[in-house]
Amino acid sequence: MNISPITSASPKSNVNFNGIMDKMAEGIAQGYSKVGNTDTFCKAMDKIGGSDKLMLHLSTASSAVTSGLYIYKNLTDKKKTKNEKITSALNQALTFGISTALSYGVSSALGKASKSLCGKFGEAVAKRGYDQKKVDMLKDGAKNAIDLVVCSSINRFVVPVAVTPVANKLGAKLCNFLNARDAAKAAKAQ
């Protein structure tokens, strides 16, 4: 393999992503506008918009979309065996369900401690001379940060590490059951 040193690269070889980024941004904006202009979306935003758990709701919605896409991709992947498809999809579904329940549970359990911590944070910020509107905004930001850290930690580390071995065992049992059922059907058909 012939690789030239970086120092010999031409300074005129700058890559320009502006056109690509503009097209991507436009495509994303068009997609969001289609979703955002639906009655269902507007009703959902009206319902959760004033919630004190807005970050958890949005994180859960994002996880639902991501997990749903992973499940679909796993079930339709032609490179995987039937057993791998089932086990991977089961892992994703269990991870999403357990993560969601734990995120809301832990957030509720931390409610008083979180409120106290944000209150102390607000007092410290107020001592720096900020007006009440800015103090309230920073306290809300601290609350949202706590919710995001809790949710992200649970969704992306705690539950996947704990659920994967369980999902593998459940997937193996489910696959064995399905294989036995299919074998019985095939034997009966002959």
Both 115 and 23 in a single domain?
A: no
Both 86 and 175 in a single domain?
A: yes
> Hey, CA dihedral for 154, 158, 160, 165, is it positive or negative?
negative
Both 74 and 150 in a single domain?
A: yes
Residues 167 and 125: their CA atoms lie apart, in Å, by 46
Number of domains into which the chain is organized: 2
pLDDT in tens, 121-157: 899 989 988 899 999 999 988 988 898 899 889 988 8
In the chain, alpha helices (H): 18-36, 39-48, 54-76, 82-109, 111-126, 132-153, 159-189
Both 37 and 87 in a single domain?
A: no
- Band (39; pLDDT cuts 50, 70, 90): confident
Both 20 and 86 in a single domain?
A: no
Both 23 and 108 in a single domain?
A: no
Q: Which two tokens stand for residue 96?
A: 């999403």
pLDDT in tens, 45-76: 777 777 788 888 888 888 898 999 999 999 99
Both 62 and 86 in a single domain?
A: yes
Do the beta carbons of residue 123 and residue 138 sit within 8 Å? no
In order of 60, 69, 161, 163, the CA distances from 72 in angstroms are: 18, 5, 21, 19
Both 105 and 74 in a single domain?
A: yes
Residues 67 and 55: their CA atoms lie apart, in Å, by 18
* Structural domain contains residue 90: yes
* Structural domain contains residue 2: no
By residue range, what is the domain housing residue 24? Answer: 16-50
* Structural domain contains residue 11: no
Both 38 and 75 in a single domain?
A: no
Both 46 and 71 in a single domain?
A: no
> Hey, CA dihedral for 88, 157, 169, 106, is it positive or negative?
negative
Lookup result for tokens 């997990």: 67
Both 33 and 94 in a single domain?
A: no
